[in-house]
Structure 1
Amino acid sequence: MDESVHRKEPPMLRAQFVLFDGFDPLDVVAPFEVLAASGKLAVELVSADGPGVVRSGVPGLALTATAAFDPDAVGYVLIPGAAGPVDGDPDTGVETIPALLSRFASGDAKPLLRRAFDNPDNTVVTICGGSLALAMAGLLEGRTATTHVLGIDQLSAAGVNAVRARVVDDGDVISGGGVTSGLDVALYVLERDFGSHAAHAVEELFEYERRGTAWKAERDGVLQGSTSGVGENE
């Protein structure tokens, strides 16, 4: 009898999108669809608080986390940014993006994020302000990353080697720039870890062409830039 008939396939790598109150929905939905369409990953919405509805920073829009955030899983942990005003008076009830990110970075998710960073079988991926949240949690000091152009100075002030690019690859940490960079980040992950054919198939399906610059950190600490698509980081 052919033993291959009874051989179990290894479990798929997981891609966990970590939701928190005030997250930016586009940071989640766009890369979620890209990774799910590839068929290479088990993609899911999770929360440090476990399953449940999580409100986004866009009024009237929420997503449902179907599982608890598992930092010990094998695969990818994806951290979105927040949506809302950049400035505002908290005494008037305004929830600014910095306040939302800070609350997430200092809350129940913080020890889980640390464990995800310490997990050698994980790659942490951020979109837009997600890298700022990790910097606020003290997890990116000395690392190379990018974020939305409005947060580059804040990222640098947190001890991060901040690079203005569409995608920055620092090994087990991959970060993206502004909101729509989630598409490019997810396609970059597919190309880097599953081959150009996997990324190209999704690009064709979505009728999308990658843009901007991708930077990759070399082992000697020197950054090597490569252009993917056209245009600048936004």
Structure 2
Amino acid sequence: MNKDFAGKVAFVTGAASGIGEAVARQLAERGAKVVVADLKMDAAEKVVAAIKASGGEAAAVSVDVGQADQVDSAVQFAVDTFGRLDVAVNNAGIGGKAAALGDYSLDDWHKVIDVNLHSVFYSMKAEIAAMLKTGGGSIVNMASILGTNGFASAPAYVAAKHGVVGMTKAAAIDYAQKNIRVTAVGPGFIETPLLGANMSEEAMSGLKSLHPIGRLGKPDEVAAMTLFLLSDAASNITGSYHLVDGGYAAQ
């Protein structure tokens, strides 16, 4: 097993399920000490238990990423627990309600923007401060295919993910000469239990058909790209946006 993250400390938000869990598990498998950060502490602790059962090192922390003070505390927890911060994945997010822009409520707008956009700013601000103290690091922000594409009835989500891509580029330029790389990943629609539970068979078939590859992506496939970008193998890659979308955005 490749242990290229041995000795490194990783902080992953939204890590109790889906893509975040896959990222946390793969990082631990490759030697990282992983902080599993999530709003759902019980689920986060289960991920930590699974990592430890496989011989890895991990700790769980509860965080509402829409609250800057909680994000600061969670990143400090990572530093206090494992001594430093080397890599971070800002993955936590929500879909939000489906409605055309003119019908979108202000409360729903602010909730999606807080969790999907503001949280990435809060997280990077705290992560970068920690990384600068130990010579640098690498950050991956989880965007979406909707970081460059539009989608009906999702104005807040699309706006937030476009913002994540732009913020990634700005931060990458700011810290390129300080040994901190910042990139973004754009998953297509990903196969998760939550997605399947809320869709009819017909709707799921229609969603799959939007992807030229003919299927939804898997969390482990997104995690694989994420780990590459975090690794030293991507040492000359920063400020860029990488799709894992089965050809969705190529159409």
TM tier relative to shorter chain:
0.3 to 0.5
More helix by share: 2
TM-score between the two structures when normalised by the length of structure 1? 0.47
TM-score between the two structures when normalised by the length of structure 2? 0.44
More strand by share: 1
